[in-house]
Amino acid sequence: MPLLALEAVHAGYGAIRAVRGISIEVDEGETVCLIGSNGAGKSTTLRAISGLVRVTDGGVLFRGRPITNEAPHRVAAAGIAHVPEGRGIFARLTVTENLEMGAYLRPRGPEIARDLERAFETFPRLRERAHQTGGTLSGGEQQMLAIGRALMARPVLLLLDEPSMGLSPILTQAIFERIREINREGTTILLVEQNATSALAISNRGYVVESGQIVLSGTGPELSANDSVRRAYLGEL
Amino acid sequence: MERTRAPFAALREALHAAEERTRLPVARLLLLVLLLSVPLWPMVDSRWLRILVLVGIFVVLGLGLNIVVGYAGLLDLGFVAFFATGAYTYAILASPASPALQADLNWWLAIPVVLALGAAVGVMLGLFVLPLRGDYLAIVTLGFGEIIRILLLNVRGLTNGAQGLFNIPRPELGGWVLRSLDQWYWLLVLSAFLIATAVGRMRASRMGRAWEAIREDEDVAAGMGVNTVKYKLMAFAMGASIGSFGGLVFAGFFQFVNPSSFTLAVSINVLSIVVIGGMGSTPGVLFGALILIGLPEVMQFSETERLLSVINPAVPFADTTDWGRQVASARFIVFGVLLVAVMALRPEGLFPARRPQARLPERHESTA
């Protein structure tokens, strides 16, 4: 049984149907990526999973249990953490408070302090900025904070929406390196990216999304080698 | 700058040390005693107390709205609705002029009724505006405030329409009637203190963290597991409950209510108090109310006129023979300029909300 399964999911905003029958599966321990151009429906797919946008048809199963159109806080409680596009940093809370907020559902205790320490170890920059407000961080630091905060929930599944957006190539590489480590430590990852090269490099499998539908799927190397993928998303002529 | 700040820092540290030792909120208790002693000060006469009672009512309203706007970030432009709910609930249930029923409800017994009803009206408004954010929320709440006022004007069988309800009884407990201005003032200081303490507890709780997360980013808050529906409704309920209590005090103090007391201007005033004081800041509400409600009144005093006459500057283009009176009569202009200046110089408000980290010696809040 896959950890997460989308079965012919349709979702969108009002009359705009951004997702039109997407079916994907993510197995426990995998990193899976959704690649595709701007407006293909990748972000909406993630938002449909976490309950932020209404699923109009089809279903979402998490650990075999339907979570279709569950309230977002229930989806979070089930073990799915979502790092949204644009990171969603709490600008007027400090870095530490942002991280603590990630552990909102967990009982207070030494475990949280330990995880806070771990977040600072994973992202040393955040420790330097611990008492600064989130809004004062640079784009890369905010991305680290967003990922660190999501991990504070000890999620089973981490949804990452465009972690490389607005970052320099060096920072992007650093972030992807971290994502790979997080996955190695046991968190399953569903990643949405426009930066297909980096995403495929760290993913077990990938899906190509176009106009709200899956047009292609395969393992990372398969997709990287595919001609149409290379032309469309990897910038080759 | 450093020199002016030093004595305050020393005072703050001394208070801190005392709080650590005694495990009591020493600073707050001292402030409470100071405020309670005001009627005993030699210069304070009935005019001052009347103003301070009015200020006190607005402090209560400000504390309520501060939950909704300052903590949860829900811009409510119709807060007067809750103020009216409290005032009219008591008026209808206690005034002998009430056309619908003669319940003769005691003011003290009205407290739980008003708190509960206020919360209910808050939840009702909250349910309507749940999906709305930002400016849309502001406009709908603004409309809600007006709807309540127009209802009060037109449901004559209950509210007596434009004439209003009069002879509303004062608070009475076993034959002891709350009558003098000092007593009203003390009642307001104590209740504002209690409310501020309760609100402070809420803010430090799980609920407070949920509110802050919602204020910062509702979707992300939900993604962290915050039940946004529940906590938004809670913010409306708590804010409305406190606002209704303000109305209850208002009705008991003035012994008269009519719809013209519950206009948009009240909502704007309360919101200005919260914004000028510093969103989410309790001392900000206190000082905001003192400045916004107290100052315009004090500027009318004859002493103020005399004082202004003394400092009569040689303004080249104006007739300054009667300077004090002129400034006093132009007080709203002066006042408006003052407000603009405050917001220009301190956009975060006079007393920006203190983050828990503010206790550390160094704050790195500005840009890195």
pLDDT digits (tens, 9 = 90+) for A180-220: 999 999 999 999 998 888 899 999 999 999 999 999 999 98
CA–CA distance, B315 with B308 (Å, rounded to integer): 13
- CA of B241 to nearest chain A CA: how many angstroms apart? 27
Closest CA to B58 of B338, B278, B245: B245
Question: Quick one: CA dihedral B193, B197, B198, B200, positive or negative?
Answer: positive
pLDDT of residue B354: 60
CA–CA distance, B107 with B91 (Å, rounded to integer): 10
Nearest-10 crossing angle of helices A110-122, A139-151: 150
A88: left (phi over 0), alpha (psi -120 to 50) or beta: left
pLDDT digits (tens, 9 = 90+) for A52-91: 999 999 999 999 999 999 999 999 999 999 998 888 999 9
Cβ neighbours, 10 Å, residue B205: 11
Residue with tokens 């329409």: B161
pLDDT of residue B6: 66
- The Cα-based distances of B344 to A198, B264, B333 in angstroms read 46, 24, 16
Give the one of A82, A92, A100 whose C-beta lies nearest to B223's C-beta. Answer: A82
Decide if B226 and A104 are in contact by the 8 Å CB cutoff.
yes
Decide if A131 and B360 are in contact by the 8 Å CB cutoff.
yes
How many Å is the maximal CA-CA distance in chain B? 67
Give the one of B209, B356, B364 whose C-beta lies nearest to A132's C-beta. Answer: B364
Beta strands A55-62 and A205-210 are unpaired
Chain A, nearest residue to B365 by Cα: A132
pLDDT of residue B359: 39
Chain B, nearest residue to A159 by Cα: B223
- CA of A170 to nearest chain B CA: how many angstroms apart? 21
Please give the angle made by the CA atoms of A33, A37 and A41, to the nearest 5 degrees. 70
Decide if B223 and A52 are in contact by the 8 Å CB cutoff.
yes
Phi, psi for residue A61 in degrees, rounded to 5: -115, 130
Residue with tokens 């709305």: B132
Decide if B223 and A81 are in contact by the 8 Å CB cutoff.
yes
Chain B, nearest residue to A106 by Cα: B225
Closest CA to B82 of B287, B258, B247: B247
Decide if B367 and A136 are in contact by the 8 Å CB cutoff.
yes
Q: What is the dihedral of CA A197, A199, A205, A210, to 10 degrees?
A: -80
Cβ neighbours, 10 Å, residue A15: 5
Residue A7 near residue A48, CB atoms below 8 Å: no
Closest CA to A94 of A118, A122, A116, A111: A116
Of A115 and B307, the structure prediction assigns the larger pLDDT to A115
Any bridge partners for residue A90, and if so which? Answer: none
pLDDT of residue B233: 97
Using only C-alpha atoms, what is the Rg of chain B?
A: 22
- Chain A neighbours among B 214-233 (CB < 8 Å)? 215-217, 219-229
| Tokens, residue B179 | 């009558």
Closest CA to B242 of B75, B61, B87: B61
Question: In the Cβ-directed half-sphere of B12, how many Cα atoms lie within 13 Å?
Answer: 9
Q: How many interchain CB pairs under 8 A, A with B?
A: 87
- The Cα-based distances of B133 to A80, A180, B81, B234, B284 in angstroms read 25, 37, 19, 16, 25
Q: Worst-scoring range by mean pLDDT, A12-21, A129-138, B166-175, B221-230?
A: A12-21
A51 three-class SS: coil
Burial A51-74 (b: 16+ CB within 10 A, else e): bbbebeebebbbeeeebbebbbbe
pLDDT of residue B363: 41
Counting as low any pLDDT under 50, the low residues of chain B are: 1-2, 356-368
Any bridge partners for residue A3, and if so which? Answer: none
- CA of B88 to nearest chain A CA: how many angstroms apart? 38
pLDDT digits (tens, 9 = 90+) for A23-51: 999 999 999 999 988 888 999 999 999 99
